[in-house]
Structure 1
Amino acid sequence: MIARSLRQTVDQMFEQAPDCDVVLPCLDEADALPWVLGRMPPGFRPIVVDNGSTDGSVEIAEGLGATVVRATQRGYGAACHAGLLAATARLVAVMDADASLDPRQLPELVAPVRGGSADLVVGARRLVSRRSQSWTLRLANAEMARRLRRRTGLTLRDLGPMRAAVRLPLLALDLQDRRSGYPVETVVRAADAGWRVTAVDVDYLPRRGRSKVTGTPLGAWRAVRDMSAVLAR
C-alpha cells in the first residue's frame, strides 16, 4: 500500500511538462532512491543515470516513474554527460542520488538561473551533522576551493555535486572529464567562458550506503587527483 501510494504521488509530479530535468548519477542507490524520487518537486523531472548498478536501482527507479538511462562508461562524469544528453528541458540540475542532498531545495538552487541573475549555480553544502562528511574530505574540499579561487578568481567555498544551468550552453562547454573531476571542470570551463557563477547554500545529509567515490581512502585520493588534474590544465 505504501509503495503504491508513493508511485501515485511520483506519477502525479512527473505528469507535468518538466520545467527542469534533474540528472541523478546512480551506482547501487536502491536504499536512497525512494526517498530522493519521493521528494522531487513538481516540474522537476528526474533522470536516473545508471552506471552499472547490481542492487535493483534501475527497477526501483523505473517502478517509481523516473526516466532511466544507462551510462555504459563507468565514472561520475560519464554518468553526468549521459544525463545531459538525455535531458530535454531548458533548465537542468545535477545532484547525487544517495539522499545526501534534498530535492526539495532544487527550486531555490535553480532560481538564480531561471531569474537570469546567474548562468551556473553551485550548491554549497551546509553539513547538518559531522557524519555528513569526514574531516579529511572537508579539508580536501577547502583546498580544492582555494586552488579554484587561484585558478579562476571565484570565491566558492564548496565544490559540491549539486548545480544548475541552462542545458544547451552547458553542453556547449564541451566538458571532457568523465571521472571525479567533472564538477571542478564544470566551474572552470564556465568561469573561462565568462559565465556568472554563484552559490546557494544547501543541506548536506549523511548519505545512505557507502560512497563509491570517496567512501574509501583510495576513492578519496582518486577524487582529489582527478580534480587536481582539471585545475592543472
Structure 2
Amino acid sequence: MSALDSYGEPVTDSIPPIPATVDVVLPCLDEAAALPWVLEQVPDGWRAIVVDNGSADGSPEIARSLGATVVSEPRRGFGAACHAGLLAAEADIVCLCDCDASLDPALLVPFVAHVAAGEADLVLGRRRPQARGAWPVHARAGNLALARMLRRRTGLRLHDLGPIRAARREALLGLGLTDRRSGYPLQMVVRAAEAGWRVREVDVPYLPRAGKSKVTGTWRGTWQAVHDMREVLAAPAIEREGPR
C-alpha cells in the first residue's frame, strides 16, 4: 500500500515499532452480521470498543460475547458514537473504523506505527473499492466533491474522508470536536489542519459492507452526510496550537 503526506508526497513504507496497547473505536448500529469478522481482525493486544448507537439486532450482546468493550450511546449520530468511544478510550493512540466489515481493522497497524513514531499526527485511509457495489457511485461522487472543498479550505491534498484513521487520544480531544452527525470525520480533519497537524493518507482495500448501509447506501443518506459536512466546511476557522 502506498502512503502520501498531506501535500501529496510519498512516504516510506517501512513500519516502525507499534505500542502494545491501542484502542479501536467501532461505531455500531445493527451490525450483528458484521461483528464476528470485524472483531476477529482487531490485532492481538488491542482493545475493541464497540459503541452501540441504538441497535435492535443484538449487536451489543454479540460484541460482549466476543470480548469487546461495549459502550452505549443513545444519542443517534455517527459523530455521537465516535466521540463516545473516544471518551471511553484509555490508550495513548486511538483508531476509528467502521463496524460493517467494509474495512479490515488489521489495516490499522501501519497507521498506528506512523503515529507512534512521530511521523504523522493523523493517518487516514484512502478507500480503494475491491468489488462492484462496494462504494456506490453517488457516495463516491459526494466524497470526491467534499475532498476538493477540503483541499480549498485547508490545503491538504487528500482524496478521501474515509472512516478508518488513527491519532493520539489526548490530541484528538484537544481539537474540541462538536459535530455529532456525519460531519464528525470531516471536522476532525479540518481542525487538525488548523492546528498544523501532519496528515497522511494510506490506500486501503474497501469491501462490500455486511447488511444495508444507513448512510451511503441511499441517496437520502448520502445527501444528509454531504449536508452535514458542508456545514463543517462553512464554519469559521479556529486558531489552535499543534498537537505536540
Give the structure-2-normalised TM-score.
Answer: 0.87
Instruction: Give the C-alpha shift of residue 18 in structure 1.
Output: 5.6
From the two aligned structures, give the one with the greater helix fraction: 1
Deviates more, 1:43-52 or 1:102-111: 102-111
Q: Is the 8 A contact 1:22 1:95 kept in 2?
A: yes
Is 1:117 the equivalent of 2:116? no
Structure 2 residues without counterparts, runs of 5 or longer: 1-18, 236-244
Q: Deviations over 1:188-222 (max 9, x none)?
A: 00000011111111111000011112222111110
| SS of structure 1 residue aligned to 2:126 | strand
Q: Distance in 2 between matches of 1:76 and 1:182?
A: 7
Match of 2:95, as an amino acid? A
Is 1:206 the equivalent of 2:215? no
Q: Distance in 2 between matches of 1:222 and 1:136?
A: 12
Q: Distance in 2 between matches of 1:174 and 1:194?
A: 15
Is 1:153 the equivalent of 2:140? no
Q: Distance in 1 between matches of 2:165 and 2:195?
A: 17
The match for 2:94 is: 92
2:139 to 137, 140, 158: 137
Is 1:74 the equivalent of 2:82? no
The match for 1:178 is: 180
Match of 2:224, as an amino acid? R
Q: Deviations over 1:60-117 (max 9, x none)?
A: 0000010000112110000011000100000000000000001111102222101111
Q: Distance in 1 between matches of 2:45 and 2:96?
A: 15
Q: Deviations over 1:22-73 (max 9, x none)?
A: 0000000000000000111113211000000000100100000100001121
The match for 1:165 is: 167
Q: Deviations over 1:96-155 (max 9, x none)?
A: 000000111110222210111100011111111221111111111111110000000000
**How many pairs were matched up?**
217
| SS of structure 2 residue aligned to 1:130 | coil
Q: Is the 8 A contact 2:101 2:209 kept in 1?
A: yes
Q: Is the 8 A contact 1:20 1:93 kept in 2?
A: yes
Q: Distance in 2 between matches of 1:215 and 1:75?
A: 16
Match of 2:103, as an amino acid? L
Q: Distance in 2 between matches of 1:72 and 1:138?
A: 29
Q: Is the 8 A contact 2:138 2:219 kept in 1?
A: no
Flag the structure with more relative contact order, 1 or 2, with Cα contacts below 8 A and sequence separation at least 6.
2
Q: Distance in 1 between matches of 2:48 and 2:20?
A: 9
**Aligned-pair Cα RMSD in Å:** 1.1
The match for 1:29 is: 31
